[in-house]
Structure 1
């Protein structure tokens, strides 16, 4: 029992802590903590110092929170404990990020790092615009979905008249519903929707605009192509992990146990998150950590576009028609909140996140 509690209380906080700690290395070197800097400033001692301070604070304070949460979890044995630890970790990471960003931005303005530099934008006109969809990598998610549907169809006639749809933090059922297709297969419908979502993301992700380095356009384009070719495959495998978690949760509803253990259910998804983290560390944002052939640097730097980035996290540029742009602190892409299409899509997504659980429940 203690081992299950330790597994449950450690997985999510440790993954979050590890992600936060490595994120400065995952981000492109020219946007430390969301601040655009010229290539010659990438190794500036001030930036290196801010990385050290950020990692020291996140590592020490975050580790203390994880250990404290583990002790409390073993004593009180509540599923809510790791959730509270995750929230507390965010309260540690956010101030550390804000502080590092503020120091770098202040030095950049004070010393006018972009004075006399030629700022340009580079586009990869030779990039394949419609790369093939990696169908084979979608098979695991589709197989898990098919197996869940088949199991549900077989189990449905023998299900009890009343199904437990929700459990308390201690694992006891606290919400039930009469047996019906909606109550029995609600999670399967969510599973199918997420499968479609991951397939769509895997299809469109390589088509998003890359963030290339005008000083070394060929090398950075090659990095991005490798990144864009691998990430869709990983997204599809992550979708399979999420599907497996949902399949395990659906099995809990169909078997109607007196209590449940959350750790085995969420374990596949956490494994998928760990895989994404390994990918992020290996590739870096946009493939920035990948090795490339030597290329003579050109007399050009990326455009200083900090004014369009709120906090280095939210991109708001009404003059930019792109819906998705590469993240500055993290892996993958984020929405352009200055684009009406992006805003509409974000509203629809939030509405779906709020509505679906209510309908299923």
Structure 2
């Protein structure tokens, strides 16, 4: 199998995962959110809502699959790294336009049915209790020391092996394990992989940090049950972050050992890497489906007799298809996403706006550096 085919397959898998996550969006989002629009939970079982969800999924399949095929063919026949780099962003943009279209339909349905007039009374709850419990709802940060130790081992190997390294250090291999890329010997080259491992650790830790610092979205109708679900949700995802980072650091250490000439079994490395990526992807999808956003889809025995009241309607605080949270009066910088799983920033706060713009600046810099 040629390297170009492998590249096309890899890209297709990435795009397919994006499509699957988009289709699963209504299932992993909170149960009272219809494609970003908050409606009474009991209305989610109406035919009108079900038709919107079916139409959303159908359009994603009708548009998403052909576009995926076209992009894959372009990557195969056109030898241009920019097409490969931009394909993911292009596909995300197309999927987002589909989402925006059905988000608008959801807003129109809500207005037509006057569900915005069914919102309940505002219930004041003790947010200090939520913050205190949140400290105990995640795996202790000391578990990140496991990844730190792995990075230190990788760094030590690079420093020890540096004097005996050849003038041309292998940095890339084809699918058969043959070296097809070299860099001149330097301390930077020798430490390139450990530095990459440090960057990966920072990215994963920041995700963990955002989760800790984000405010808990508590249902005012059932605050105790909602809080318990949120704690389970955060505990599960904190374990996921730590396990994922540990596996990735082991993988990059093995890659560093290949660069240093300590390890050379490409077949074993490929098996391990595909296994790791599979665990990471399947794990995230499974957690998203089972837990839902904020643990909203977790089933607890004590909630069997609770009501499905309609809590505060805060659609006005979410912009651009309910994807950007903008609330200058909210002191929180990190909040739960309105759609899908994860956390986002409060663009109404200066730091929140900074964190929202930063990824786009980094993407532009990376694209400019790609030759």
State the TM-score, normalized to the length of structure 1: 0.80
Classify 1:234/1:314 alpha carbon distance in 2 versus 1 (closer, same or farther; 3 Å): same
Q: Which residue of 2 aligns with 1:322?
A: 332
Classify 1:266/1:15 alpha carbon distance in 2 versus 1 (closer, same or farther; 3 Å): farther
Q: Name the CA distance, whole Å, in 1 between partners of 2:123 and 2:334.
A: 17
Q: Which residue of 1 aligns with 2:39?
A: 37
Q: Does the aligned pair in 2 maintain the 1:13–1:82 contact within 8 Å?
A: no
Map Cα deviations across residues 173-197 of structure 1 (whole Å, 9 max, x no partner): 67x6542222321331231243244
Deviates more, 1:96-105 or 1:270-279: 270-279
Deviates more, 1:22-31 or 1:39-48: 39-48
Q: Name the CA distance, whole Å, in 2 between partners of 1:104 and 1:350.
A: 28
Structure 1 position 287 matched with structure 2 position 292: no
Q: Does the aligned pair in 1 maintain the 2:35–2:102 contact within 8 Å?
A: yes
Structure 1 position 145 matched with structure 2 position 178: no
Q: Name the CA distance, whole Å, in 2 between partners of 1:345 and 1:118.
A: 33
Q: Name the CA distance, whole Å, in 2 between partners of 1:7 and 1:136.
A: 38
Map Cα deviations across residues 121-140 of structure 1 (whole Å, 9 max, x no partner): 66454331422643575365
- 5+ unaligned residues in a row in structure 2: which ranges? none
- 5+ unaligned residues in a row in structure 1: which ranges? none
Map Cα deviations across residues 126-176 of structure 1 (whole Å, 9 max, x no partner): 3314226435753653454244223323432222224466899xx9867x6
Q: Which residue of 2 aligns with 1:297?
A: 307
Map Cα deviations across residues 68-100 of structure 1 (whole Å, 9 max, x no partner): 666676778988776565445324422221111
Q: Describe how 1:81-92 pairs up with structure 2 within 5 A.
A: 86-87=88-89, 89-92=91-94
Q: Which residue of 2 aligns with 1:107?
A: 109
Q: Which residue of 1 aligns with 2:234?
A: 228
Q: Does the aligned pair in 2 maintain the 1:54–1:97 contact within 8 Å?
A: yes
Report the aligned-residue RMSD: 4.1
Q: Name the CA distance, whole Å, in 1 between partners of 2:82 and 2:366.
A: 22
Q: Name the CA distance, whole Å, in 2 between partners of 1:350 and 1:88.
A: 14
Q: Does the aligned pair in 2 maintain the 1:141–1:243 contact within 8 Å?
A: yes
Q: Does the aligned pair in 2 maintain the 1:73–1:81 contact within 8 Å?
A: yes
Q: Name the CA distance, whole Å, in 2 between partners of 1:329 and 1:229.
A: 20
Q: Does the aligned pair in 2 maintain the 1:140–1:240 contact within 8 Å?
A: yes
Classify 1:290/1:55 alpha carbon distance in 2 versus 1 (closer, same or farther; 3 Å): same
Q: Describe how 1:36-55 pairs up with structure 2 within 5 A.
A: 36-55=38-57
Map Cα deviations across residues 209-244 of structure 1 (whole Å, 9 max, x no partner): 111222222222221110011111111122234434
SS in 1 for 2:344: strand
Q: Name the CA distance, whole Å, in 2 between partners of 1:345 and 1:52.
A: 34
Q: Which residue of 2 aligns with 1:238?
A: 244
Q: Name the CA distance, whole Å, in 2 between partners of 1:153 and 1:357.
A: 31
Q: Which residue of 1 aligns with 2:194?
A: 188
Map Cα deviations across residues 276-328 of structure 1 (whole Å, 9 max, x no partner): 12211111100111102224327652233334333211111111111011101
Q: Describe how 1:244-283 pairs up with structure 2 within 5 A.
A: 244-247=250-253, 249-251=255-257, 253-254=259-260, 267=274, 268-269=276-277, 271-283=279-291
State the TM-score, normalized to the length of structure 2: 0.78
Q: Does the aligned pair in 2 maintain the 1:37–1:304 contact within 8 Å?
A: no
SS in 2 for 1:126: helix
Q: Does the aligned pair in 2 maintain the 1:323–1:341 contact within 8 Å?
A: yes
Task: Give the alignment partner of residue 342 of structure 1, picking from 333, 352, 356.
Answer: 352
Task: Give the alignment partner of residue 215 of structure 1, picking from 192, 212, 221.
Answer: 221
Classify 1:352/1:298 alpha carbon distance in 2 versus 1 (closer, same or farther; 3 Å): closer
